Structure 1
Amino acid sequence: MAKRSTLFIRIVEGKNLPIKDITGSSDPYCIVRIDNEAIIRTATIWKTLSPFWGEEYNVHVPPSFHTVSLHVMDEDSLSRDDVIGKVSIRKEALTAKPQGLDCWMNLTEIDPDEEVQGEIHLQISLLGDGKVPRRLRCRVLEARDLAKKDRNGASDPFVRVRYNGKSQESVVVKKSCYPRWNESFEFELDDPLADSLLTVEVWDWDLVSKNDFLGKVLFSINRLQLAQQEEGWFHLGPDEPKHSQDEGTLGSLRLQLRLRDETVLPSSHYKPLTELLSQSVGTHLNGNWPDLIMLIDETTTSENRQEVANNLVKLFLGQGLIKEFLDMLFKLELEKTTEPNTLFRSNSLASKSMESFLKVAGMQYLHRLLGPTINRIFEDKKYVELDPNKVELKEAGCAGLHRVQTEADVIQQSSALLQSYLSELMAALLQSALYCPLLLCQAFQQLYRQVQARFPEPEYRKVKFIAVTSFLCLRFISPAIMSPKLFHLREKHADARTSRTLLLLAKAVQTVGNLDTLVCCSKEPWMVPLQPAIQQGISQLKDFITRLYIPFICVCPLDLDLQTRMSLRCGSMEKEGFLFLHKTKDKCIPMTSPMAAYDKPAACLTLPYHSHAALGSFISLPKIRAVEKVEEKCFGSANVMQIISSEDSGQQETLYLDCKSVNELNQWLSALRKACSHNANTMSCYHPGIYKAERWSCCHQKEKTDPGCDKTRHGVTLQEWYDPLDPDLEAQLIYRHLSSVQSPMRYLAVVWNGGAGQRRPVFLTRFVFSLRFGLPGEKKADVLTSLFRILQDLRDAHAAVEAKERLKYRNVFLELQT
């Protein structure tokens, strides 16, 4: 059994932000924090007070997290970025809205006394003669992950203990966010029966200015009397919030957030449901109706269809049945389609599943295909416009010449540029048949064949091509061209000029995907200059579709297993960065080639050096013991991570990787932690600093082999970065969907028990028809009977887990009372 918490975050847009620049505008971006740990940085939107981001993230979070906060900043190139405001959402608010939040939220001022983080290790006990306590003892041991309040990237923390109007203070530990005190403080209990509070505060000592607040913990004396002693790590909380005069004047953000807490049972509990789903696909292969998948199709709504499609795609990928699953959905879609021109144009389960499949199995292929063209457009920064109503001659003027370009000159040059971009892209698409992933090839080929069999008439000869291009071009390539940031092709959104170029190129690709230039040119006549390149692109696109299978058979041995063949087709994960090594005395070694590649079949993290080859070329993934962040003060960068691994000799090696941004940092942490999730001998604690000047910079311990002063973190990872398949989680999510439509399915039982004359829901008509006429008589009732039994077994298993949890908490409470 495991607890899985996933947080969906969509940062939509902002409005009415304050002016921070002398130009009368701002350059806003957002930083997302989970309990004050920065995990996401959005793109900067330049020169606007109403930015639009539209960025989506799925984040794995530990079930024990407290707060999600979004800090809006104004980027400055010459000075420190300005703070605009923040939005904070408590976990309780997200839990109270299981359907999710979708609203505008006002930005509030960032109060330093509320920006606290970290934990403190305390031992609190009541001492006295007999049963009546006379003294209160508070032992302050250590703290970890404190906020950094000083310019040196650390703090000078001390503890202030308050009780009954009296206070005592610890010594100051200089330059540390992981201090150790090991001091005890005692107070006389004036009235042992009174319910008073013990307050433990942590402060950052400053010589000149006012001390900075780092957090506090409160304890009830009455509660302590029940337990006599309380020891552990306690989360530091903020001070009392202050009412700001700026509230409501800092603008607002539109956010969409949804927290999902799932209790995932052991695999054996989900095996019957997975087998039933697999049998439904197998039934289709034998010529019968896919009963259970059809039921899921009929009971999804526009709100949850995409999520259900994602779950099914990942489940069948894990079962090795994704090709059969998609083939079945194509057949269902074709059987209810009478007009070929509307094929796969709706947001059906088949369309959503294919979209999800393309993103899961084809993202690396997309990057290799579009990367060069997208990068060229961003680097060229050319003014491109075909619409005469939008041509701006002042933007197209030639400095240093006596003549300003005319409208015809602008359109002619724009047409030449767009034709060049489109020709380059379509040529790359034709060549990509050599490295298109095997599963994508198979999916497109079976879609092509099924549509050809469904509409064999000569007048519909283009429909089989359009069926493929409607997914490849209209739902995959074109959206990526229009928003390369959202498909991880670029780190930042395009400016207005580049966005227009991308939009025009995406329109041209959509026209190529429709295999018809007349419709587009009739609606937008200014697209006519692109017609020669579009016609050539249509020919190349058709050639690409018919050649998908051939390259793989030629270049890849057929005796390789599917996963290895997939990896050969997909390539590897590549990122650029800088490498630090202890043995080089913490100097930076810049890399001119791609810094690292995660190659799953080889099970190693490859480090191809431009020089220094003698330092080693790879780290075996099973030998990685921890992947963690490094304190900013160590290298003067907030985006440094460390990879701790063990050599065959038992010696421990540490590599430091400097990433370009917080997103780059968390993408690395996410990918490597998931790749090493099943490693043995992982570390439970580590040093967030470096060993320098005969001591650790974080906790000042002098022993180099000290196990560590902070616990390793594996809870927060980004879901979309090489997320491994988790069939148990996907089965749990499908079970939850089926449970939510339990009432309509119960109605089917009435139908089987003689209630067929009753009026049934329209969305179940096709499913009931399939049960009556599509399956043999002895199997009709088995479909629902098996499903109801499986769902009931899963409900019982979840109820048993919940009862066990309640019993555990009850026993803990009784132990405290006694």
Structure 2
Amino acid sequence: MSERVDLWNNGNLVQDIFLGEIKVPVKVLRNDSFQAWYLLQPRENGNKSSKTDDLGSLRLNICYTEDCVLPSEYYTSLRNLLLKSSDVQPISASAAYILSEVCRDKYDAVLPLVRLLLHHQKLVPFVAAVAELDLRDTQEANTIFRGNSLATRCVDEMMKIVGKHYLKVTLKPVIDEICESPKPCEIDPIKLREGDNVEINMENLRYYVDKVFREIVRSSISCPTLMCDVFYSLRHLAAKRFPNDPHVQYSAVSSFVFLRFFAVAVVSPHTFHLRPHHPDAQTSRTLTLISKAIQTLGSWGSLTKSKLSSFKETFMCEFFKTFQEEKFTESVKKFLDDVSSTESKEPSGVSEPVHLKEGEMYKRAQGRTRIGKKNFKKRWFCLTSREFTYHKQQDKEPIFTIPIKNILAVEKLDESSFNKKNMFQVLHGEKPLYIQANNCVEASEWIEALCRVTRCNQKRLSFYHPCAFLNGSWLCCKATAESTEGCARCTADVPADTQIEIDGDRETERIYSLFTVNRSKLQKLEEACGSIAVYQGPRKEPDDYSNFTIEDSVATFHTLQQIIDIVEKLNESHEKYQKKRSSSAKYGSEENPIVGKVS
């Protein structure tokens, strides 16, 4: 029995092109870890096969890995050790950092690590800690966060996970326009085709760049809270590292949000799910030129004459002479301020409050302690970038106003509180404001709008009560003090589209597997710590441990011992669990499959 794998090229917008196929015996996939090279074969045509000579020479690398995830309690020790990494001094002695040191490819460690820390809301302090370590080795401000370190890769992965919706609402409409109604934009004289007009092409390219740039600098209100929190940390760490450079606080953020986020999404929209397929060659070239332009515009101070002279391509230098306007650098500065500040700000270029949403809903009288239909009144609600108000009627003076900066959380309200559906609550320091929308879609839209405009508030709550306080107690947790801290973690920090499902146990299992595979490197690192003067063992030659970052041999050695001990115990647990499962499971079941050929 075998599985067939077909390889197709979907880069052709008319139809997909078959490239070749292979057949993999199912029995080889039963191994815990399987890796092998297979030569692609022509497609079978009945009993006849196409001639191999008619095909190219492509190879497909297939990696198959099976993880056995144990019950959650087995991972408690490893999970806790990883989650406290940001508190370890120095950070290079933490379990999370050691994981990145022993893995051959940092990406193998970064993916499960970021997801685990993100799931437990520990990512921001960890990124800040490893970024600070990064900055110690950065000698010049203009090279800040340009390498592929643990810090930059963690931020990259975080942006990919939580920034999907942000990219969709910001770039998808203009990317669709470029791909579906493309205009010629080639400005390289060498690549111009016969009949092309370089002046017209430059105008087309300028139109696209202006449009993409305008959408980006106006999008700060949609930037997810987590991204803003990370950018805020990076900005202040950079300013602390280079106190005499007033621009470094901006370049620290732009190096991520422009160079590693928007510019990458523009040039590869299909990888960010902005387009279903890879664009054709001409459109891909247009997107590449736009991406280059966005990178340059987003680089703080990049439009100076000295910067223009450093362009490798003369045609790009000529193109950017048309961008010598102060408004571009000011727009970038305002945008970077918005996405890396701890205070809510107006969208770029706006001095008056921006009207965001309004509509008619029902509100419950604040402070009432009993249930009653008369407590709910129909009111007209209005949300701007500065305040949230409600009125008796549209166009009337507001009855009650909540400044945006005072909103602590916006969450759904359990319908059991008042036996009403589509309710949500606005927590703002006084009595909670309970609101009933007309339907579930409207409720979600209001929650999303309120969450977006309050995402940078300094005093956002981490916990809330999902039910109301009635008749002397909270209906959810039965606590009798109205001031009792919430019993559920806040969930609406970002729009619903950006929330992701993460299996913390699976990510911890993946990290355990990485430690197991790299056990020999853990031992080498342990020996390296032991060879440093603190310990009595013979000192090793520098080459034996020069590839590892060891700032504090004692702290690193202590963490390594914990990791090795935990991994050994998990190995034993895996063996016992597998034996128990196979012995108790019915022969022929998924847990205890039949071994051998079926006649």
TM-score between the two structures when normalised by the length of structure 1: 0.49
Q: Which whole-Å CA distance do the structure 2 matches of 1:243 and 1:599 have between them?
A: 58
The question of 1:491 aligning with 2:276 is answered yes
Distance 1:266 1:764, change over 3 A: farther
Distance 1:798 1:391, change over 3 A: same
Q: Which whole-Å CA distance do the structure 1 matches of 2:443 and 2:60 have between them?
A: 34
| Structure with the higher strand share, 1 or 2 | 1
Q: Which whole-Å CA distance do the structure 2 matches of 1:319 and 1:509 have between them?
A: 34
Task: State the secondary structure of the residue aligned to 2:63.
Answer: strand
Distance 1:814 1:732, change over 3 A: closer
Which ranges in structure 2 are unaligned for 5 or more consecutive residues?
A: 346-384, 387-403, 414-423, 425-440, 449-496
Q: Which residue of 2 aligns with 1:341?
A: 142
Query: Equivalent of 2:177, from 370, 373, 376?
Result: 376
Q: Kindly provide the CA deviation profile for residues 603-643 of structure 1, in whole angstroms up to 9, marking residues without a partner as x.
A: 9xxxxxxxxxxxxxxxxxxxxxxxxxxxxxxxxxxxxxxxx
Structure 1 residue 333: Cα displacement: 1.0
Q: Which residue of 1 aligns with 2:315?
A: 526
Structure 1 residue 558: Cα displacement: 3.4
Q: Which residue of 2 aligns with 1:755?
A: 537
Q: Which residue of 1 aligns with 2:329?
A: 538
Distance 1:378 1:743, change over 3 A: closer
Structure 1 residue 87: Cα displacement: 3.4
Greater mean alpha carbon deviation, residues 97-106 or residues 485-494: 97-106
Q: Which whole-Å CA distance do the structure 2 matches of 1:427 and 1:783 have between them?
A: 48
The question of 1:558 aligning with 2:407 is answered yes
The question of 1:790 aligning with 2:569 is answered no
Q: Which residue of 1 aligns with 2:40?
A: 105
Q: Kindly provide the CA deviation profile for residues 457-483 of structure 1, in whole angstroms up to 9, marking residues without a partner as x.
A: 23xx33332222222222221221112
The amino acid across from 1:413 in the alignment is I
Q: Which whole-Å CA distance do the structure 1 matches of 2:253 and 2:524 have between them?
A: 38
Q: Which whole-Å CA distance do the structure 1 matches of 2:580 and 2:56 have between them?
A: 47
Q: Kindly provide the CA deviation profile for residues 66-94 of structure 1, in whole angstroms up to 9, marking residues without a partner as x.
A: 6252164899999x999775433344455
> Any conservation in 1 of the 2:115–2:507 contact (CA below 8 Å)?
yes
The question of 1:725 aligning with 2:502 is answered yes
Q: Which whole-Å CA distance do the structure 2 matches of 1:563 and 1:341 have between them?
A: 45
> Any conservation in 2 of the 1:474–1:513 contact (CA below 8 Å)?
yes
> Any conservation in 2 of the 1:94–1:101 contact (CA below 8 Å)?
no
> Any conservation in 2 of the 1:102–1:254 contact (CA below 8 Å)?
yes
Between the aligned residues of both structures, percent identity stands at 25
Distance 1:277 1:438, change over 3 A: same
> Any conservation in 1 of the 2:2–2:25 contact (CA below 8 Å)?
yes
Q: Which whole-Å CA distance do the structure 2 matches of 1:75 and 1:275 have between them?
A: 45
Residues 389-788 of structure 1: pairs in structure 2 closer than 5 A: 389-394=190-195, 396=196, 410-458=197-245, 461-515=246-300, 516-517=302-303, 518-519=306-307, 521=309, 522-527=311-316, 528-533=318-323, 535=325, 536-548=327-339, 549=341, 550-551=343-344, 554=386, 555=404, 558-560=407-409, 724-747=501-524, 749-750=526-527, 751=530, 754-755=536-537, 757-759=539-541, 761-763=544-546, 765-767=548-550, 769-772=551-554, 782-788=558-564
Structure 1 residue 340: Cα displacement: 3.2
> Any conservation in 1 of the 2:166–2:223 contact (CA below 8 Å)?
yes
> Any conservation in 1 of the 2:100–2:109 contact (CA below 8 Å)?
no
Which ranges in structure 1 are unaligned for 5 or more consecutive residues?
A: 1-64, 112-241, 397-409, 569-595, 604-719
Distance 1:514 1:93, change over 3 A: farther
Count of aligned residue pairs for this structure pair: 448
Structure 1 residue 545: Cα displacement: 0.7
Greater mean alpha carbon deviation, residues 314-323 or residues 782-791: 782-791
Greater mean alpha carbon deviation, residues 545-554 or residues 442-451: 545-554
Q: Which whole-Å CA distance do the structure 2 matches of 1:106 and 1:545 have between them?
A: 52
Q: Which whole-Å CA distance do the structure 1 matches of 2:57 and 2:575 have between them?
A: 42
| Structure with the higher helix share, 1 or 2 | 2
Structure 1 residue 796: Cα displacement: 0.9
Q: Which residue of 1 aligns with 2:117?
A: 316
Q: Which whole-Å CA distance do the structure 1 matches of 2:535 and 2:314 have between them?
A: 62
Output the aligned Cα RMSD: 4.0
Task: State the secondary structure of the residue aligned to 1:739.
Answer: helix
Structure 1 residue 764: Cα displacement: 6.0
Structure 1 residue 534: Cα displacement: 6.7
Distance 1:255 1:447, change over 3 A: same
Q: Which residue of 1 aligns with 2:5?
A: 69
Task: State the secondary structure of the residue aligned to 1:357.
Answer: helix
Q: Which whole-Å CA distance do the structure 2 matches of 1:290 and 1:563 have between them?
A: 41
Q: Kindly provide the CA deviation profile for residues 654-699 of structure 1, in whole angstroms up to 9, marking residues without a partner as x.
A: xxxxxxxxxxxxxxxxxxxxxxxxxxxxxxxxxxxxxxxxxxxxxx
> Any conservation in 2 of the 1:94–1:100 contact (CA below 8 Å)?
no
Q: Which residue of 1 aligns with 2:375?
A: none
Residues 155-170 of structure 1: pairs in structure 2 closer than 5 A: none
Task: State the secondary structure of the residue aligned to 1:257.
Answer: strand
Structure 1 residue 441: Cα displacement: 0.7
The amino acid across from 2:408 in the alignment is D
The question of 1:277 aligning with 2:82 is answered yes
> Any conservation in 1 of the 2:39–2:60 contact (CA below 8 Å)?
yes
